[in-house]
């Protein structure tokens, strides 16, 4: 049976610009915790940036020292594991609240038909942070354009008479009517409620 090799955890508190060389042998290191990014150099190699959760495993060889460098000029408090093998760290710590929202719609909002006057741009639906999709149907027999507040003839998506358009947006939606008479549109919104 071969000798069991393990790891050691080093707790370090470096002042701004401070550098410490750890005479520690191993084939891996893992930053277990740190309050900000800092630098590490393996042996006399170049310094590279690391932070909590970052590690490095050398394949087939070992190192005999690590240089830990405070690189941001703010000081750093850290915990680093050095040794042989691999650390499987499955901890998850969430500081503070974690708000969640459903990703799919779970409600419908039937909106009254909107009349778009002749040769005019009109608001079809105001911005709605809870909206997932909006379905707009042209109830008239002539073409109109759908888009943002800058929609006009030649701008926006063409919606033929009787046509339906589905948009995945929470932004305000406008319609431009190039016809000589008012045209109505119907609207249905799917929402997260």
pLDDT in tens, 26-76: 999 999 999 999 999 999 999 999 999 898 998 888 999 999 999 999 999
Entry pTM: 0.51
- Rounded-to-integer distance, Cα 63 and Cα 47, Å: 15
Structural domain tally of the chain? 2
pLDDT at 127: 96
Residue bearing the bigger pLDDT, 16 or 91: 16
Using only C-alpha atoms, the chain has a radius of gyration, in whole angstroms, of 31
Choose among 153, 193, 188, 154: nearest CA to 173.
188
pLDDT of residue 103 exceeding 80, the answer is no
Residue with tokens 């084939």: 27
Q: Is 42 exposed, middle or buried (0-12, 13-18, 19+ CB in 10 A)?
A: middle
CATH number (domain holding residue 176): 2.60.120.770
What's the pLDDT score for residue 102? 66
pLDDT digits over 133-182, tens only? 999 999 999 999 999 999 999 999 999 999 999 999 999 999 999 998 99
CATH number for the domain that contains residue 59: 2.60.120.10
Which pLDDT belongs to residue 183? 95
Are 79 and 111 found together in one domain?
no
Q: Is the pLDDT of residue 118 over 80?
A: yes
Q: Which residue, 47, 67, 83, sits at the end of a domain?
A: 83
For residues 78 and 114, membership in a common domain is answered with no
pLDDT at 12: 96
pLDDT-derived band at 101 (thresholds 50, 70, 90) equals: low
- Whether pLDDT at 105 is above 80: no
Q: Cα dihedral angle (138, 144, 146, 150), rounded to 10 degrees?
A: -150
Distance (Å, rounded) from C-alpha 40 to C-alpha 20?
10
Confidence category of residue 13, pLDDT binned at 50, 70, 90: very high
Range of the domain at 181: 107-191
Give yes or no for residue 1 having a pLDDT over 60. Answer: no
Q: Tell me what pLDDT residue 60 has.
A: 84
Long-range contacts of 86-94 (CB under 8 A, 24+ apart): 86/28, 86/57, 87/7, 87/28, 87/30, 87/32, 87/55, 89/30, 89/32, 89/53
Same domain, 30 and 74: yes
């Amino acid at each position: 049976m071969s000798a069991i090799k393990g790891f050691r955890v080093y707790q370090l508190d470096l002042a701004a610009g401070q550098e410490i060389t750890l005479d520690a042998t191993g084939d891996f290191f893992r930053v277990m915790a740190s309050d900000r990014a800092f630098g590490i150099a393996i042996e006399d190699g170049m310094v590279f940036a690391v932070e909590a959760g970052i590690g490095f495993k050398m394949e087939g060889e070992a190192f005999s020292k690590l240089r830990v460098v405070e690189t941001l000029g703010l000081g750093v408090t850290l915990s680093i594991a050095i040794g042989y093998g691999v650390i499987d760290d499955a901890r998850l710590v969430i500081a503070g609240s974690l708000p969640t929202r459903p990703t799919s719609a779970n409600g419908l909002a039937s909106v009254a038909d909107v009349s778009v006057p002749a040769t005019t741009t009109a608001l079809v639906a105001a911005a709605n942070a809870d909206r997932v999709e909006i379905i707009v149907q042209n109830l008239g027999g002539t073409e109109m354009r759908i888009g943002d507040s800058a929609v006009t003839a030649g701008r926006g998506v063409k919606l033929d008479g009787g046509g339906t358009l589905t948009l995945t947006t929470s932004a305000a939606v406008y319609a431009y009517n190039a016809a000589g008479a008012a045209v109505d549109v119907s609207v249905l919104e799917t929402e997260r409620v």
